A and B are shown apart, each in its own frame.
Chain A
Amino acid sequence: MQGSTTEFKRQAEAALHDATLQRAMAKAKGGFVDKRRLAVARLPEFAQIRAEAKAIKEHTLAHLDYYLEQFERKVLESGGRVHWARTADEACAAVLAIIGAASKQVLKGKSMVSEEIGLNAAMERAGHTVVETDLGEYIIQLAHEPPSHIIAPAVHKTRDQITDLFQAEHEKYGLTERVTETEDIVNEARQVLRTKFLSADVGITGANFLIAETGSTVIVTNEGNGDLTQILPRTHIVTASIEKVIPSLDDMTVLLRLLARSATGQEMSSYNTLSTGPRRADDLDGPEEFHVVIVDNGRSDMLGNEFHDMLRCIRCGACLNHCPVYGAIGGHAYGWVYPGPMGSVLTPLMIGLENARDLPNACTLNGRCGEVCPMSIPLPDMLRTLRFKEHERKLSKARARGALKAWGLLARRPRLYQVVTALMTAVLGSIGGRAGRFRSLPLASGWTQARDLPAPQGATFQRMWRRRR
């Protein structure tokens, strides 16, 4: 049910009329926002740490080649292997080559980059069985849907829907009872996935950070699924993108202080796990093979250009949680892996502005995303830049460009501007007349469909200003 980035408007409208989705989104709304606000309020040093975090990422990005090479060297020293992939296809091919030809049981921990490269589909095509182990990811895998949120992939699902899904899908394990309470739902998933954990051949996780100092990959989770995914199977594969690298453990510590607070309002997620190489000679458990697949997929071009700041993103999800548009329509309407404000910036950069031209416009420029972003990413500015590029490349609607051009002509001629606006104010004021508002207007149906346009009352601002003086 992956939507399409070119069908944003239709999908958004459908989402607004989807009563079940609206129920699910209403439940989520507020929770994330309140928890984050309280967590930030409890940390007086938040602003300082935020500045520190930005400096760490900027330093790393400015020397990205150096830290990636250091990371690679450390992974090799600890007995692991590093694979480089320019594109999504290369990344999938690298993972498939590691897994090998025989069909395998593959477990996955949550990884957004694996969604970005379409890894599950590639593995299934190659004949492997893939099981998502994060509860939210597991739910949407059963539903054959993509994630709708970068940290809460099943946020669009109601408990009733999950109950139905589990009943239909778990019957084959002899679990026929209908589970309706959250506790029972979680327990049933635990029971089903436990057997998968104990029998899998390969475990794939993402990485929140790659640490150059030690060659460690780091995951941040609450469930512990990412840990079982990597310590039980024989092979652990990590998929990560190039901008995840940071210099040191101390740098990670700074970023961790922001990540959980911004994401879920926790001070620390339950499990932060550093994985370095395969199991050691005297270890009693852990994977025998450790591979890191490092994906570029367009990021090296963002480095140093007007979207450079986006590479600081730590995928906390705060910008989604604070976005009124995301809150109203959910993640699927955006049509690709990354939704909300960060997605509206990333998607056009990754799949082409011409394929995602509605996304930068799905924004009210209210600025909340930029305010809450722990990495101080100027999301609204970047969305504006994308709109500007659309205009330049004539990807916006001809009518909109025409209107802007006309307005531009007018705005550069103050006399004319005054005359025309005074005239329009008078005309609209007199037509709007008694009602004081318009229910419909030619050329402005997009506005009047959902709300009335107030009719001007009295003179233009400029005239009133002059009179006051």
Chain B
Amino acid sequence: MSAARDEIFTRIRRSLRRDAPLAAPPAHRSQAPESNVRPRLEKDPLECFIDKVHAAAGTVDRISAISDVVQATSDYLHRHGLEPRLVVASHPLISELAWPAEWKIHAGPARGEDHIGVGAAFAGVAETGTLVMLSGADNPTTLNFLPDDHIVVVSALQIVAHLEDAWRLMRDSVTAMPRTVNLITGPSRTADVEQTIQLGAHGPRRLHVIVIED
């Protein structure tokens, strides 16, 4: 390929005192990911996840059936005095919901004028209260960042203890790496003005997680 590429690799190998590429992958601890030191959780994963979402300035609703997502969303809109105009991902978890007929709903991607986005997480990580969002036709990435309010639905069955567990789930169930994987922990924030934390820098001002426990 390019001369630059050749020279960079030559220099690297010279510094490593080796003159040919390695034939086989080097042995590495990452071939045994279970060897990672994992922070001990204080509680069971679901409780821990919910605590950590709160700690990251997010809010959580626990519901017992998928159909309750509509009521939970309605309550959320009410609490914050928001108009029922939503952009909703066509993810299987939420695509069958019966939204009230008078609500204005459109499917993703999000546009500049969308204020509320509803998406579905692939997994939730208890260790840090992190949502794992995979991009795709049924979960456009713009939905995670353009709206002011981001509502994310996640099944309690998909709450894992550590991020390593989410990667394992992903390797098992997703054939190819999606274009974008977002690990989202709380709403957008900045501390660039005198180190004072202010929520809602460029992304969502609020993050609301709806956990389905059925």
Contacts and interface: CB of A to CB of B under 8 A. Distances in A.
Interface of A: 24, 27-28, 31-32, 43-45, 48-49, 52, 55-56, 59, 62-66, 68-70, 78, 83-86, 90, 133-136, 139, 152-155, 158-159, 162, 182-183, 185-187, 189-190, 193-194, 197-198, 213-216, 222-225, 227-228, 231-232, 242, 247-251, 253-254, 256-257, 264, 266-280, 282-286, 294, 296, 300-305
Contacts of A55: 29
A229 to B, nearest CB: 9
Contacts of A264: 191
B73 interface: no
Interface stretch (B34-42, B61-69, B78-86, B97-105): B34-42
A228 B26 contact: no
Nearest to A230: B180
Contacts of A197: 202
Given A55-B29, A224-B203, A45 B177 contact: no
Given A65-B9, A224-B201, A225-B201, 9 more contacts: A62-B16, A198-B112, A266-B56, A272-B130, A272-B182, A277-B179, A278-B179, A294-B8, A301-B15
A135 B190 contact: yes
Interface residues of B, number: 78
Contact of A303 (B7, B15, B127, B196): B15
Contacts of B155: none
Interface of B: 1-2, 4-5, 7-9, 11-13, 15-18, 21-22, 25-26, 28-30, 33, 36-40, 52, 55-56, 108-110, 112, 127-130, 135-137, 140-142, 144-146, 162-164, 167, 176-196, 198, 200-204
Contacts of A257: 39
A286 B179 contact: yes
Pick from A251, A273, A301 the residue with the most CB of B within 10 Å. A273
Nearest to B27: A59
A269 B4 CA distance: 35
B136 A275 contact: no
B180 A250 contact: no
A190 B195 contact: no
A95 to B, nearest CB: 13
Contacts of A305: 15
Contact of B40 (A44, A213, A251): A44
20 contacts: A44-B39, A52-B29, A55-B29, A62-B16, A69-B9, A78-B176, A135-B190, A139-B192, A152-B191, A155-B195, A182-B198, A189-B201, A223-B189, A223-B190, A223-B202, A253-B167, A266-B56, A270-B188, A271-B183, A303-B12
